[in-house]
Chain A
Amino acid sequence: MTLAKTRSVSLVGVDGFVVDVEAAITSGVPGLHLVGLPDTALSEARDRVRAAIFNSGEDWPNRHVTVSLFPASLPKKGSTFDVAIAVALLAAAEVVPPRSCAGLVLIGELGLDGRVRAIPGVLPAVLAAANAGCRRVVVPRANAAEAGLVPDVEVLAAGTLRGLLAVLRDEAPPIEDEEPDPPPPRSAAGLSLRSPDRRTGMDLADVRGQAEARRALEISAAGGHHLFFSGPPGCGKTMLAERLPTLLPPLEADAALEVTAIHSVAGTLPPDQPLITRSPFYAPHHTATRAAMVGGGSGRVLQPGAVSLAHRGTLFLDEAPEFMSGTLDALRQPLEEGEVRISRAEGTACFPARFTLVLAANPCPCAAAKQVDCSCAPAIRRKYLTRISGPLLDRIDLKLELTPASRAELRYDLEFAEASRVVAERVLTARERTLKRLDDTPWRSNSEIPGPELRRRFTPPPEAMRAADDALQRGSLSARGLDRVLRVAWTIADLAGHDQPDEDDVGGALALWTGRRS
């Protein structure tokens, strides 16, 4: 047989496409010819595969070998096809039985010594293979735990090409030196995931005073609503925001897979933790560029941005007015749609981006502790907060002006401050109420319900809506704002155990939306 076929997966963003890898040995000038839109890294597979086959003790077929990646029109990138190419080639040369690798999906990069190296993006690749109906997948051993998260797929962990060939030939595996593989490449993005160690041990009880802000945090956690804290420095904005994850329940199974898939593509998956079960918290520095925020990058490698890395979690922008205005406004579309589409010359990638946005800002550049001490000119003061554009603020459900904690609060409140555990329990109960109501819908929290559906199915009684109607009449509330107020009202009702929002719930939601101190 001079023709063999294996399969592999090409990733575009977090979506995988199964690619057929065909190898044919024909007459002609000896050499390996790779066709099907390979990029530079993939073209180099020729040399990697050859050295790996030699160093695995196999003979290189000295013939005219054509390797075709199908569909040929889909651009393919990176080194993930190495193993599939090597096995297809050896099967075409009848070194391994072609039947053993037909329909087998092989993912992995080959080292020159024949070692199968770890690659980023294994989870979405295996998911794509499973969705395409493939049942057996070969992955690098270092990624096996990640691949094992996908149900109904038999995962073969390959440490070396030699070992893999032995399995395909039904032979006893060779004794390999059990050298641990080097950790997978890390993302070189300028953002960094907060190390979990810093966040463990954080508790809402650490924050003194700020009862309203805690309440807002609880509402945000229960309904996934966006949050804006403004206030003088040292009043606890950052502390509060960083404690939001402690109120959130662990991720559900499908959400955990989504989040893990994104982090797998970004290469930010902790090596010892194949599945991310806690909702992520991502806090980029305010120098972040637009590409860092929404995703992108040059060349064919489209990387997820901060909004996607915070998917199903919290995106915290501290010192929000210091961000470039373009960067902040780039958040508007993902905030509405829950996903970002990145279009480049090489293709379009779609990343999920359903996150809770938390903004924190000082009221002015001088950031005096007390307003009377502010040395900023009124114009500068006014200008500072307008750096957060109106359309963006319009999309934020909960706006809060914080005041410094009073002396009494600082001294005594610690004993009364609720711990994260207590609040998280209330949040969980509220979320369960929400889920029960949204049982027959695709949405999981109040903030996800689209406007038209909200107005059609979840309208509170007219008497409860009076405050909102007045605001609408006065023009202080936009149509989108009304939707947002309604969603928050539902969350407040869920937290309070009401069957539907009453007048107080709507009033509270309206107050939080307008940002006036209640």
Chain B
Amino acid sequence: MNNHTHAGHDLGARGEEAAAGYLAGLGWRLIERNWRCREGELDIIAHDGRQYVVCEVKTRRSVRFGDPVEAVGDGKAARLRRLALRWAASHGVRGADVRIDVLGLVAEGDGFVLDHLREVC
């Protein structure tokens, strides 16, 4: 889970904002932000024109403790998959039409360096 100190929260929010802007730039339709259920939260749900994409946004101030995309391990991937299916069920979308991408952002100056991993799980 995210670091909930003020600075950490702020960085995460800024990262998600940057990621949403990036996805919009790709021409994707943004469906929902910060969808919550009892089990957790999905950062961004978008539609790339062919299928729904659940985007997990990971933001880091530096790569000193590893690259943000590395933070998505097997356990995290399984959780994301479960959440994505839950979202699909509550929106009447077939589970096979949802895929999961990971967006890794590393702060650099005012902006971010973005790494987009498609079809992680």
Contact = CB atoms under 8 A, between A and B. Distances in A.
Please say whether chains A and B are actual partners in one complex: yes
Interface of A: 27-31, 62-64
B115 interface: yes
B121 A29 contact: yes
A64 B101 CA distance: 13
Interface stretch (B7-15, B41-49, B67-75, B88-96): B67-75
Contact of A29 (B104, B118, B120): B120
5 contacts: A29-B120, A29-B121, A30-B69, A31-B70, A62-B70
Given A29-B74, A29-B77, A62 B121 contact: no
B119 interface: yes
A29 B77 CA distance: 7
B120 A62 contact: no
B74 to A, nearest CB: 6
B31 interface: no
B24 interface: no
Interface of B: 67, 69-70, 72-74, 77, 104, 115, 117-121
Contacts of B77: 29
Given A29-B74, A63-B117, 8 more contacts: A27-B118, A28-B119, A28-B120, A29-B72, A62-B67, A62-B69, A62-B104, A62-B117
A32 to B, nearest CB: 11
A248 B31 CA distance: 86
A29 B73 contact: yes
Nearest to B68: A62
A29 B118 CA distance: 10
Contact of B119 (A27, A30, A31): A27
Nearest to B76: A29
Nearest to A29: B77
A131 B104 CA distance: 47
Contacts of B119: 27-28
B115 A62 contact: yes
A270 B121 CA distance: 53
Contacts of A27: 117-120
Which of A27, A29, A63 has the most chain B CB atoms inside 10 A of its CB?
Answer: A29
A30 B67 CA distance: 10
B72 A30 contact: yes
B70 A30 contact: yes
B54 to A, nearest CB: 14
Contacts of A31: 70, 73
A27 B120 CA distance: 5
A62 B118 CA distance: 12
Nearest to B115: A62
Interface centre among A31, A62, A63 (most CB of B within 10 A): A62
A62 B72 CA distance: 11
Nearest to B80: A29
Nearest to B71: A30
Contacts of A63: 117
A64 B72 CA distance: 11
A206 B120 CA distance: 78
Q: 3 closest pairs, A vs B, by CB? A: A27-B119, A29-B77, A62-B67
Contacts of B72: 29-30
Contacts of B74: 29
A94 to B, nearest CB: 16
Nearest to A28: B120
A64 B67 CA distance: 14
B98 to A, nearest CB: 15
A269 B98 CA distance: 60
A142 B118 CA distance: 43
